Homo-oligomer: A and B are copies of this chain.
Amino acid sequence: MPHDLYRPLELSFEGSAVIPADRTPFTLRARHEASGVERSIPGFWDGGSTYRARFAPDLVGGWAWLTESDDAALSGASGSFDVVSGDDHGPVRVAHRFHFAHADGTPFRPLGATAYNWLHQGEPLFSSTVDTIAEAGLNKFRFMVFPQGGGYIEHVPELMPFEKTDGRWDVSRPVPEFFRRLDRAVEMLGERGIQADVLLYNAYDRGQFGLNELTEDEDAVYLRYVVARLAAYPHVWWSLCNEFDQLERPDERWDRTGALLEQIDPYDHLRSIHNWIELYDNNKPWVTHASIQNGSATTDFGRANLYRDVYRKPVVLDEIKYEGDIPDRWGHLDAEELVHQFWITTVAGCYASHGESFVTETGSLHMVEGGPLRGESPARLAFLRGILEDVDGPGLDPIDKWDDPAYVAGVPRQVYVQYLGRSAPESWEFRLPIGFPGERPEQGDVFDVDVIDTWNMTITPAGRFTLDDVRRNEAFARASEPVSLPAGEALAVRITRVEA
C-alpha cells in the first residue's frame, strides 16, 4: 500500500543491546529512486531492545532505505516503499520573508494557542484540551516537554522524561513511556489540524524538578533524542524555550543549542526562541522566525512592524498578554482588548498567539493546563483567521512601512486591510497607501470595499471604487462618496481589486 507524502512512516527494529541515548543507535538512509535524493534519519531507542526510525518522505515516487549502525543487529536492514500525494500539506516553512506556507505551497496563517503544562495533565483534560483548541479555530499550540513548577501549577506529573542515576537526571536513560505520551500529544494535535509548537527547554522549573539544571551536553543528548522521535511529524515547530532569559545562561549557549537543532533536524522545521525581558538576537541564522513577548508591542499601531524590519523574518508575537481575570497585568485583558491587539498585529504584518488566564475551579489557568475556553476572544480570532485565509497572496504586509498614518496592510494592488481600532469614525474615505516594494496601483483600478466588524464578526459590502487620483504615496477615488460606518469601535475595511 503506498504511503502518503509528508506523513511519518515508522520502522521498528530489534537491537542486540541497549545503546546509550547519547549516541544515535542507527541511521536510516532513504534514497528517492527517481531523483537520487538521499535523506539521513536518526533512529531512537524506544524501550527494551526496540529501536525505531520515523521517516516523512518529501517526494512522491519510490524510495529505498537501509540502516547503518555499529550494532550489527541494527545494521543492514533494508526495504522500499512508494509515496503518493495525500492530504497532508507538509511542514510549515517561511514564505515570502514574513509569512508561512506548507511545503506544498499552501499558505499557513498562525493563530496560536497556549497551555504550557498541558502535556502533564491527566484525562479528560489532556484530550479535551485539543478538542477545545481545534473547535475554537486556533491552529498552533505552544506547550512544554518538561513539566512546569511554581504558581498556578496544581498537578505534579508522575511521568518524567528521564530515569535518575545517583539522584541525578540521567539523560542517557530516557523514559519511553514519557516520550510515547509526547508522541501521542503531537499526533493528537496533528489529527485536529493544529501545529505543535514544542517548547524544548523550560524556564519554569523553579527548582521543583531540576530539569533546568542539565548541563549543555545533557541538553544536547535530550535534544537529539526528542528530534529523532518527533521530527518526522510534519506539523512540528521547535521553540527552544519560553522566556529563555529567565534562565541565567549566556546567549552563546542558546546559540549553540539552536545551531545544533538546525544541524540535526532532517526536516528543517521552524525554529524560534521566546523571550521574557531581553530579546534574543533573532537575526542569528538558526532562527527561522522571531517569537516575541512584549506587553505593549501590539497595544497600538506602528510598533510590531518594526520587529519585521530588523529581523527580516516572520514575527510571531507569542505572548501579548492574556484574556482573563487574575491580578497580574499579563493576565487580565478583556476580550475586546485582546481581539483589538490581534488586529493591530495583523495590520503590522505579524502574527500572534492567544492565551487565557481565568482562574479555573482547580485554581489553575487555561494557559497552564488547558481545559475549556471561557473567554469571548476565541470566536473573534477564528473570524480573523477566516479573513487571513481569504487573502489571495502570501500574507498581509504593511504597504507603506516608512510612514503610513493609516497603517494599512495588504498585497499591493490586490487586497488591502485597514483596521480603524479605537477611532470609531462615522465614515471612511477611500484611500490606498503606496509604498515600497511592490506593484503600484494605477489610475482606473477598481476595488470593492467590505466593512468588517471585528467584534460582531460581520462582513458587509460597501461599494465599488475607481482610482482617479494616484499620487506618489497614496491613491484616492475622489469621485466616490465616503463609506458610512456603523457606530462603534474595532471596525476594519477590506479593499479588494476586481476586474474593471
Copies of this chain in the oligomer: 2
- Given the complex, which residues of B lie within 8 Å of A309, measured CB to CB? 278-279, 294
Task: Tell yes or no: A470 within 8 A of B by CB.
Answer: no
Task: Tell yes or no: A20 within 8 A of B by CB.
Answer: no
Task: With a 10 A CB-CB cut-off, give which of A278, A279, A309, A311 has the most chain B CB atoms.
Answer: A309
C-alpha spacing A117/B307, complex, angstroms: 32
A299 CB contact (under 8 Å) in B295, B302, B321: B302
A403 touches B329 (CB 8 A): yes
Task: Tell yes or no: A296 within 8 A of B by CB.
Answer: yes
C-alpha spacing A401/B296, complex, angstroms: 8
C-alpha spacing A306/B283, complex, angstroms: 15
Name A327's closest neighbour in chain B (CB-CB): B472
- Given the complex, which residues of B lie within 8 Å of A498, measured CB to CB? none
Task: With a 10 A CB-CB cut-off, give which of A295, A296, A405 has the most chain B CB atoms.
Answer: A296
C-alpha spacing A387/B297, complex, angstroms: 28
C-alpha spacing A50/B404, complex, angstroms: 55
For the A-B complex with A278-B312, A303-B303, A321-B403 known, give 19 more contacts whose Cβ atoms are closer than 8 Å. A277-B436, A277-B437, A279-B309, A279-B310, A279-B312, A281-B310, A294-B403, A296-B302, A296-B402, A296-B405, A297-B302, A297-B306, A299-B302, A299-B403, A300-B300, A300-B301, A302-B303, A306-B307, A310-B311
Q: List the interface of chain A (C-beta within 8 A of B).
A: 277-279, 281-283, 294-297, 299-303, 306-307, 309-312, 321, 329, 401-405, 436-437, 473
Interface of A: prevailing SS: loop
C-alpha spacing A312/B405, complex, angstroms: 28
A295 touches B403 (CB 8 A): yes
- Given the complex, which residues of B lie within 8 Å of A436, measured CB to CB? 277
- Given the complex, which residues of B lie within 8 Å of A302, measured CB to CB? 296-297, 299-300, 303
C-alpha spacing A283/B282, complex, angstroms: 9
- Given the complex, which residues of B lie within 8 Å of A401, measured CB to CB? 277
Name A251's closest neighbour in chain B (CB-CB): B312
Min CB–CB distance A219 → chain B (angstroms): 24
Min CB–CB distance A406 → chain B (angstroms): 11
